[in-house]
Amino acid sequence: MPRLHAPSDRRSALLVIDMQYDFMPGGALAVADGDALVPLINQLGQRFARVIVTQDWHPAGHVSFAASHPGRVPFESISLPYGAQTLWPTHCVQDSQGARLHHDLHLPHAQLVLRKGCNAQIDSYSAFLEADRQTPTGLAGYLREHGIESLYVVGLALDFCVAWSAQDAARAGFATAVIEDACRAIDLNGSLQAAWQAMRELGVERLHSDALPA
């Protein structure tokens, strides 16, 4: 695993995952305390030369919605052509209020807002590769063309979109860290512990926001 560059280094980027109303308390797929991250992520953003933001951005009737499968309920798992898929409450429908970024998120210098999960038949927790594990979002190419080598990942949810994005970043050769106090988890059937284990095996660093490399 290549070495992590400091946040202020032009070769580093902060990757802010899915800070959208549907993942906030009161949202369709609420993550406990998700909104508490906003001030910390705003502060972290100030320390990074480069910031990238993602949005979960599903068409109506998306394959990951329990409502798209008669007789199924949220949080069940089903088998799809690309493998097992957890079914979710309907969330982050393109252009809905729940899909908007939290209004208090203040990252004025963010250069890229990447939308993922746009294919009706394929989910995408990862900001790099859709759930078929073949369709790229283009993010790796974007980062390489900008000379970015180190990624610090924050946001929601730690055990799904943050963890999948961090793992794919590490596999793609980026030095990758998750800032754990700038994330919150769903924690479904042990998913949080499994996510940390999988990230550790790929060399993803687990950092606290007050201990980032200088």
161 included as an active-site residue: yes
Outline where the chain has alpha helix (H). Answer: 38-47, 139-145, 163-171, 191-201
Supply the minimum distance, in Å, between the C-beta of residue 175 and ligand VGL.
22
Q: Distance between CA atoms of 24 and 14, rounded to whole angstroms?
A: 20
Strands 112-116, 83-86: parallel, antiparallel or unpaired by DSSP? Answer: unpaired
Supply the minimum distance, in Å, between the C-beta of residue 44 and ligand VGL.
18
**Interface residues toward ligand VGL, by CB under 6 A:** 18, 23, 56, 88, 125, 156-157, 160-161
Q: Which of residues 45-64 bind Zn ion (CB under 5 A)?
A: 56
CB within 8 Å of 48: residues ≥ 6 apart:
7, 8, 12, 13, 14, 152
Q: Toward ligand VGL, which CB reaches closer, 13 or 185? A: 185
CA nearest to 184, candidates 13, 25, 51: 25
Out of ligand VGL, Zn ion, none, what residue 48 binds, judged by CB under 5 to 8 A for its kind, is none
Q: Toward ligand VGL, which CB reaches closer, 48 or 88? A: 88
Q: Which helix (H) or strand (E) holds 13?
A: strand 12-17
Q: Total residues contacting Zn ion (rule CB under 5 A)?
A: 1
Q: Distance between CA atoms of 185 and 119, rounded to whole angstroms?
A: 24
Supply the minimum distance, in Å, between the C-beta of residue 91 and Zn ion.
6
Supply the minimum distance, in Å, between the C-beta of residue 119 and ligand VGL.
13
Q: Toward ligand VGL, which CB reaches closer, 148 or 161? A: 161
Out of Zn ion, ligand VGL, none, what residue 149 binds, judged by CB under 5 to 8 A for its kind, is none
Catalytically annotated residue among 22, 35, 56, 116: 116
Q: Toward ligand VGL, which CB reaches closer, 21 or 23? A: 23
Instruction: Please report, to the nearest 10 degrees, the dihedral formed by the alpha carbons of residues 29, 32, 38, 43 taken in order.
Output: -130
- Cα 3 to Cα 148, 166, 177, 204: the distances in Å are 12, 15, 10, 11
Supply the minimum distance, in Å, between the C-beta of residue 11 and Zn ion.
30
123 included as an active-site residue: no
Residue nearest to Zn ion (CB): 56
168 included as an active-site residue: no
In this structure, the number of other CB atoms found within 10 A of the CB of residue 101 comes to 18
Catalytically annotated residue among 18, 56, 123, 168: 18
Let me know: does 57 contact 116? Beta carbons within 8 Å.
yes
Residues lying near Zn ion in the complex (CB under 5 A): 56
What residues are annotated to the active site? Answer: 18, 116, 161
